[in-house]
A = this chain, B = another copy of it.
Amino acid sequence: MENNRTEISTLGEFGLIDHLTKNFEIQNVSTVLSVGDDAAVIDHFGKQTVITTDLLIEGIHFDLMYTPLKHLGYKSVVVNVSDIYAMNATPTQITISIAFSNRFSVEALDEFYEGVFAACEKYGVDLVGGDTSSSQKGFIISVTAIGEVATDKFVKRSTAQKGDLICVSGDLGGAFLGLTLMEREKKIYLENPKVQPDLENEDYIVGRLLKPEARKDIIEFFEKNNIAPTSMMDISDGLSSEVLHLCKQSNLGCKIYEEKLPIHDLARKAAFKFGLDPTVCALNGGEDYELIFTLKQEDHDKIVLNEEISVVGYMTDAEEGYKFLSKGGNSFDITAQGWNAFNK
C-alpha cells in the first residue's frame, strides 16, 4: 500500500505510542495530564477525573482454554482500576465493550459479566456504559475506567527525585509462574487430551494469574497515613520494565537489590520446579498488578510496619544507570524484558 514501510517492531509498544501522538497539542484547559502515564487527568472544578483504557484480545492477552470467563470479566475490571490506583486516585465508574464471535452463548456472556460485577462490587465502581458487537474471530474486551482524586493529589511517573526509596507492594513473579504452569498444562493436554491437568498445590500462582487484585489497600494506606509517593505506576509488564519507565520519565537512574525483592514462597517453589530463577521471574514476569512507587527517605518510618510494602532500592542520578545488585554482590544493567506484544 505504501512505498515506505516501517515495521512496527522497530519502534516497540512505547516507541509506537510516542511516535503516533508526538505532534498532538492539548486544546482544553481541563486536560491536566495526557498520554504517557497510567491514566489521564481531567480537571473538574474541585476534583480531578482520572481516566484509563485497555483493550484485551483473545489469543494475545488471554487464552480461553484455561481462563474461565468469570475470571476474565473480573480481571478485565481489575487491570483498569489498577491503573486508577496507580495515579493515587479512587476508581468510580467503568465502561465495558465486548465483541465476540457466534461461538459464544448468552450464558457464556453472563459468566463474563458475573466476574465484571463481582469486581465492580469489590472496588466500588459503577458500570455506566459500553457496547456489544460481533467479531469475526475471538473475544475482544475494551474497558475504560474513571476515577477521582483531590486536586493535584494525583501521582505521575515523572516526578521521582534522586535518593527516593523504590517500593513495591505485595510480591512479584507469581502471575508469570501461573502463566508458565498453565501454558505447560495446555501443551500436555493438546498432546494428550486424556491427561488431567496437574495443578496440585499451585493455587497461589494460578490465582495470581487468573484472579489478580488491584491494590486499593495501598492507596487507602497512603491516605490514612498522609503518605505522598513521589512517583508511581502499576506493575503490569514486570518490575524491570516499570522501574525503567519511572527512571526515564523522571530523568534518573536506580539501584535495585536482589535480596529485597518480595517473592512468595509458593512462587519460589514453583520456579524451582520449572527450572526457572525466581529472581528473573520477579524482575521480568508481568501481570502481577502490584504497585511500584517512590518515596522520600524521611517517609520510610511511615511504611516500615506495612508488611505489604517492600523497599527494593532507591533512585540515583541518571549517569549511574539502571543497576541491579545480585545477592552475590555483582552489578547488572537492568533492561526491559517485559512483555512486548510486537516481538511475540
**Chain A positions near chain B (C-beta within 8 angstroms):** 1-2, 4-8, 10-11, 13, 16-17, 19-21, 23-24, 26-28, 30-31, 33-35, 39-40, 42, 44-47, 49, 51-55, 57-61, 92-93, 95, 97-100, 102, 104-110, 113, 117, 120-121, 124-138, 140, 142, 144, 146, 148, 341-342, 344
Q: Which of B131, B138, B146 contacts A42 (CB 8 A)?
A: B146
Q: Which residues of B contact A92 (CB under 8 A)?
A: 28, 30-31, 42
Q: Is the CB of B105 within 8 A of A8?
A: yes
Q: Which of A57, A125, A142 has the most CB of B within 10 A?
A: A142
> How far apart are A16's CB and chain B's nearest CB, in angstroms?
5
- Closest B residue to A112 by beta carbon equals B20
> How far apart are A144's CB and chain B's nearest CB, in angstroms?
4
Copies of this chain present in the complex amount to: 2
- Closest B residue to A59 by beta carbon equals B136
Q: Is the CB of A341 within 8 A of B133?
A: yes
Q: Which residues of B contact A11 (CB under 8 A)?
A: 106
**Inter-chain pairs besides A2-B108, A28-B126, A51-B93, 12 sampled, C-beta below 8 Å:** A6-B106, A8-B105, A8-B109, A10-B106, A27-B120, A35-B127, A45-B45, A45-B47, A49-B49, A51-B128, A134-B341, A136-B137
Q: Is the CB of A126 within 8 A of B34?
A: yes
If A6-B107, A57-B136, A59-B136 touch, does A142 touch B35 (CB 8 Å cutoff)? no
Q: Which residues of B contact A59 (CB under 8 A)?
A: 136
Q: Which residues of B contact A8 (CB under 8 A)?
A: 100, 102, 104-106, 109
Q: Which residues of B contact A93 (CB under 8 A)?
A: 28, 30-31, 40, 42, 51
Q: Is the CB of B120 within 8 A of A24?
A: yes
- Closest B residue to A109 by beta carbon equals B20
Q: Is the CB of B35 within 8 A of A130?
A: yes
Q: Which residues of B contact A104 (CB under 8 A)?
A: 8
Q: Which of B10, B107, B134, B341 contacts A4 (CB 8 A)?
A: B107
Q: Is the CB of B134 within 8 A of A342?
A: yes
Q: Is the CB of A136 within 8 A of B138?
A: yes
Q: Which of B40, B46, B52, B129 contacts A46 (CB 8 A)?
A: B46
A53 to B53, CA, bound (A): 10
